Amino acid sequence: MEETFINNFKHTPVLLNECLEGLNIKPTGIYVDGTLGGGGHSGEILKRLTTGKLIAFDKDDDALSSTSKKLAEYGDKVVFVKSDFKNMKAKLLEMGIQQVDGILLDLGVSSYQIDTPERGFSYRFDGALDMRMDKSSSLTAEDVVNNYTRDELLRILYNYGEESFAKLIVNKIIEAREEKRIKTTGELVSLIESAIPKKFWGKGSVAKKTFQAIRIEVNGELEGLENAINEMVDMLADAGRIAIITFHSLEDRIVKQVFKLRTTDCICDKTIPFCVCNHRKDAILVSKKPIEATKEELQNNKRSSSAKLRVLQKIKI
């Protein structure tokens, strides 16, 4: 999502043209960016609005502070909301907004967060074990690493990191924290590297999956995601669209399942001879397959390599 310097969100939005095309922006429409970040997507949406409005959500104070200044030229055409996008429906209703014409979610971590050592997201830079997207939240990565039981650590490494060396890594963590508290990303990386035999290292950092798992746990990224997406689809006006970018299989699976349910009529067990569920689809897929980055974008923005965009359009029942 972002190319960045410390305390300054600079933004290279992923799949930008594909998102704009997918949202099919109306100049007079109401749009929501659920993950403002550096404002790359938001800025391009705003350029296409005349009397329309953009509601921009983020739970990261740094993102809101920096990007609101960057987008100040758009005045009251943009409204900034400090909140997790999972609260979107409630927040919009509080604002008197019943329906919107489009919603965008970029579920990746910003490069600003990754490249700022004190935020604790990065396995490349040594810093405090934090990983909180919302710095006012209580749970940190240090809490997870030092206070979670063996079984809890195994659960998140298996489920959220899909880490095949979870047992070895957790054993190293338990052993190390008995001596002293693990406080930095560098310490954690060293433990992970010592746990995994070098012949299995391959490309990239062997700490990637563990860091992803802990980050997901700290920020509750998968918790309530299915319900939140369903609420967003409910908020779409007729012909309104939702575009969601994911960066790992766990999130993409949830998005895919929600979209499948919303675009399917009968969901009865196939052994039942006639429909008893009365379920009716209220949306259609804009693209049957997830949209991925072009070769050109992959060359210019490595972060787009794992990105998948899915777009859904609301229809009348």
| Tens-digit pLDDT profile for residues 158-174 | 999 999 999 999 999 99
How sure is the predictor about 11, in pLDDT bands with cuts at 50, 70 and 90?
low
Whether 16-107+222-314 and 123-219 share one fold: the answer is: no
For the chain, the farthest-separated pair of C-alpha atoms sits apart, in whole angstroms, at 64
What is the model's pTM?
0.92
Tell me: the pLDDT tens digits for 200-211?
998 889 999 999
> If one looks up domain 16-107+222-314 in CATH, what number appears?
3.40.50.150
Architecture of the structural domain at 123-219: Orthogonal Bundle (1.10)
Lowest mean pLDDT among 91-95, 96-100, 201-205: 201-205
pLDDT value at 6 more than 70: no
Lay out the sheet containing 308-314: strands in order across.
78-82, 53-58, 30-33, 100-106, 236-246, 308-314, 283-285
Domain ranges of the chain: 16-107+222-314, 123-219
- Residue 3 pLDDT > 60: no
Q: Pick the closest to residue 196 from 180, 208, 213 (CA basis).
A: 208
Average pLDDT, the chain: 94
